[in-house]
Amino acid sequence: MIFLDTSYINGLIIKNDSFSSQSRAMGPFLVNEDKATNITVLVEVLNSLNKYNFHGDVYDLINYLVNVNVFDFLTKSDYRNASVLFRHYNSSINFSDCTILQSMQNHGITRIASFDSDFDKIRGIQRISGFF
């Protein structure tokens, strides 16, 4: 299973995104993978969209994301655990990324499709970031 991060998804859907070509190149390699994401990613993706950079159907996008193999809604306990991670990494990893790490821990996921190099700081996490 692989976790889909905001930067990967934005690369797929936002026409002028700097990671667009890399995200599209990764697609064929991820097609047979079980996929996971969480509410943080959904919110970040939706907040990235505007009428100039996304011409798709927002409802189709939401439907796709919430229907990946695992869509994690965070609990109060998850947010508490994410705050422990945030403190542990001395704020060098942003809180949103800590909620992603918490979701990954919840589901035993060790790989993430992302262009965010902060995930490289996490022992035991393999960041998949392109193939060229």
Stretch (H or E) spanning 101: helix 95-106
pLDDT at 128: 94
pLDDT of residue 131: 62
User: In this model, does residue 15 exceed pLDDT 90?
Assistant: no
The 10s digit of each residue's pLDDT in 62-93 is 999 999 999 999 999 999 999 999 999 998 99
The C-alpha angle 83, 38, 123, rounded to 5 degrees, equals 55
CB atoms within 10 A of CB 114: 26
The 3-state DSSP class for residue 39 equals helix
Cα(26)–Cα(93) distance, integer angstroms: 24
The structure's pTM equals 0.94
Domain boundaries, the chain: 2-71+111-128
C-beta neighbour count of 66 within 10 angstroms: 12
pLDDT tens figures, 117-127: 999 999 999 99
Integer Cα distance of 76 and 50 in angstroms: 30
pLDDT digits over 91-111, tens only?
Answer: 899 999 999 999 999 999 999
First to last CA, the chain: 22
